[in-house]
Amino acid sequence: MKPVVTRFPPSPTGFLHIGGARTALFNWLYARKTGGKFILRIEDTDEDRSTKESVDAILESLEWLGIDWDEGPYFQTQRKEIHDRYIEKLVKDGHAYYCACTPEEVNDMREQARTRGLKPMYNGRCRKRGLSNAPGTVVRLKTPGSGATVVQDIVKGDTAFQNAEIDDFIIRRSDGSAMYNLAVVVDDLTMGVNVIIRGDDHLINTPKQILIYQALGADLPVFGHVPMVLGPDKARLSKRHGAMSVSEYRDMGYLPDAVINYLVRLGWSHGDQEFFTRKELIEKFDLNHLGRSAGMFDIGRMTALNAKHIQAKPAAELVSPLLPHLKTLGIEAADDLFTRQVVETLQPRSRTLKDMAAAARFYYVDAPEMDEKAVAKFLTPEVCDMLNQAADAIDAVSEYTQPALEEVFKKIMADFNLGFGKIAQPLRVAVTGTTVSPGIFEMLLVLGKDRTVQRIRRAARLA
């Protein structure tokens, strides 16, 4: 059995969108699962819309997701000689021909067919004229006039297309450039691609591509057309359903492992398991469990899954991706022990890295911004003495540890006849400026004794 070779062929006319990323993932995972090869090919034949900026954005998004490629990136526009060689072979072997019909003449043919109640098609006028290559000519593939072309699909099953409804379609334009269907087949064939997983919006092209494979006498690849990703309202995914580009989710604080976990689960299942590490996805992914139903994108579910990935990661692995989000807030943090400890305190309650950065702000500023409602509710004159005593007691401990802090709290609770919550919440507001924070003891330990005492005394002056 030949090694598996898959590919991802984005068009560089914009960013890498969620649907495209999922297609890349399916192909990449299957190649990695089988020990095969994954090829990246940039289909830049739409030269008016293709840009280097889009190419760079696509590569950056794939790299962020951790989707690496074994070959490429190839660029379709750089493969013209290869496309021409195969086109000339098709003409020489009698499977294609030159056509000199003008666009106006072809439109007339289609209109005449339409008036007779037939499908508007090219009528094959130049098929037997034996024309040679000349300015203005195109090349058309000779298609069967009867029978059916059957797409054997590992996702959708068999789909038959009547050949009588497929006209002799153009495979090379009058300007000498290859048409999409020809270029795709030749590129896949010459690159050894034998498994093609793509969106079902491409299914309409597949019978034409099969006819080209057959005309070239080549084996067909395995085809799998997966349903599109839809929004919660079952409409095609758009901006109103959430961010469209992969890079936007990075900027929103999602982890790449969470994004690929969620995207893969939009069209593939492994029992009821929802949470997968990257390693588990590679081990368990298969083609048999690709779904036939459209995946419904739900930003809430992806966010919940992202929170689980944040919690499952070692804190050290979250520091580097957190730093850009801190920088956005004007915080110049370092990849060091302090930031790792900060992360550890925030992991349990952070849904995104952006959330985590916002929650971490109080650790990095000289004086936290005080929430007016929290101050009014908890930093009252009645707690002033308690805060001052807490500051003095914490300042006096010889070893700044959790057991030492627990003893301080116990004494204050006894001296003021207060429950734990009655002293913890004012202290939380004193050191963070808000009523929401990590656990009081772990937070105070990371903040450090001097800064803790300084903030409590400052808050006592506000009470």
pLDDT at 157 over 70: yes
Side-by-side strand order, sheet with 195-199: 157-162, 148-153, 222-226, 195-199
Tokens of 404: 């030492």
Average pLDDT over residues 336-361: 97
pLDDT attached to residue 239: 66
List, in sequence order, every beta strand (DSSP E) within 10-116. Answer: 37-42, 71-75, 96-99
Q: What letter does residue 17 receive in the DSSP assignment?
A: B
Extended strands (E) in 130-282 = 138-141, 148-153, 157-162, 170-172, 195-199, 222-226, 229-230
377 CB neighbour count, 10 Å cutoff: 13
pLDDT tens for each residue of 428-454: 999 999 999 999 999 999 999 999 999
pLDDT of residue 12: 94
pLDDT for the residue 242: 63
Tell me what the mean pLDDT of segment 286-308 comes to.
Answer: 94
Q: What is the pLDDT of residue 234?
A: 80
Domain boundaries defined on the chain:
5-74+181-229, 81-172, 239-310, 313-360, 365-463
The domain defined by 313-360 carries CATH number 1.10.8:
yes
Please tell me the class of the 81-172 domain: alpha beta
Mean pLDDT of 357-380: 94
Least-confidence region, from 202-206, 225-229, 236-240, 272-276: 236-240
Q: What is the pLDDT of residue 46?
A: 81
What is the CATH architecture assignment of 239-310?
A: Orthogonal Bundle (1.10)
In contact, 168 and 141? CB cutoff 8 Å: yes
Cα–Cα distance for residue pair 353/140, rounded to 1 Å: 54
What local confidence, expressed as pLDDT, does residue 45 receive? 82
Q: What is the helix (H) or strand (E) element at residue 295, kind and residue range?
A: strand 295-296
- What is the average pLDDT score of the chain? 95
Average pLDDT for residues 179-205, to the nearest whole number? 97
Asked if 289 contacts 264 with a C-beta cutoff of 8 angstroms, the reply is: no
> pLDDT class for 57, splitting at 50, 70, 90?
very high
Classify residue 290 by its DSSP letter. Answer: B
Q: Which residue in the block uniquely carries the two structure tokens 């399916």?
A: 26
Question: In whole angstroms, what is the distance from residue 347 CA to residue 306 CA?
Answer: 11
Residue 238 scores a pLDDT above 80: no
pLDDT band at 243, cuts 50/70/90?
low
% residues pLDDT > 70 (the chain)? 99
Instruction: Round to whole Å and give the CA distance between 131 and 44.
Output: 30
Q: Which CATH number fits domain 5-74+181-229: 3.40.47.10, 3.40.50.920, 3.40.50.620, 3.30.2130.10?
A: 3.40.50.620
Whether the predicted model's global pTM rises above the 0.95 cut: no
pLDDT, mean of residues 334-353: 97
Q: Which of 312, 307, 346 is nearest to 326 (CA)?
A: 346
Question: What percent of the chain is predicted at pLDDT more than 90?
Answer: 91
Confidence of residue 47 (pLDDT cuts 50, 70, 90): confident
CATH topology of domain 365-463: Arc Repressor Mutant, subunit A (1.10.10)
Domain 239-310 and domain 365-463 have a common topology: no
pLDDT above 70 (res 340): yes
pLDDT confidence bin for 232, thresholds 50/70/90: confident
- Residue 338 backbone dihedrals phi, psi, to 5 degrees: -60, -50
Structure token pair of residue 224: 């799998």
Can you point out the beta strands (E) in 43-182?
71-75, 96-99, 138-141, 148-153, 157-162, 170-172
Confidence at 235, pLDDT banded by 50, 70, 90: confident
- pLDDT band, very low/low/confident/very high, at 241 (cuts 50, 70, 90): low
The catalytic residues are 239
* Side-chain half-sphere CA neighbours of 190 within 13 A: 16
**246 with 61: CB under 8 angstroms?**
yes
218/227 Cα distance (integer angstroms): 27
